[in-house]
Amino acid sequence: MQLQLSGKNLELTDALKTYVDTKLGGLDRLNEHVTEMRVTLEKIREDHTDQFKATAQFHVAHEVLYTEEVAADMYAAIDIVKNEMERQLRDYKNKLETKHRKANAAVRDMKSAV
């Protein structure tokens, strides 16, 4: 699995890189078909306040899972993105398992009919 990390309007420190790697790097264990992860961290200045946006894009088999979150703290935004991406990966895996179960049930029904 390949992790690409980029930043907009902020400096990517070693602490941020390590945090993203530990939080999002382990998500490939939920689905063995994750081939690439793209993470963008961005600082947004609105009405004289700083907000931070974290965006994650995971390439899973032939699908692309995407999420973005805005928070007052960069680490909080990364945590929220991690939780959302974890949910999306689990949902995708369950969707595939259900599809395979239905296909296997149809094959069993066809064999028993013969």
End-to-end alpha carbon distance in the chain: 45
Domains of the chain, with CATH numbers? 2-113 (3.30.160.100)
User: What pLDDT does 28 receive?
Assistant: 73
- How many CB atoms neighbour CB 78 within 10 A? 23
User: What pLDDT does 18 receive?
Assistant: 93
Question: With left for phi above 0 and alpha for psi between -120 and 50, is residue 13 left, alpha or beta?
Answer: beta
User: What pLDDT does 64 receive?
Assistant: 92
User: What pLDDT does 36 receive?
Assistant: 87
Residue spans of the chain under pLDDT 70? 1, 105-107, 109, 113-114
Q: Which amino acid is at 8?
A: K
Q: What is the pLDDT of residues 70-99, one digit of tens each?
A: 999 999 999 999 999 999 988 988 888 887
CB 65 within 8 A of CB 33: no
Give the DSSP H/E element, type plus range, for residue 58. strand 49-60
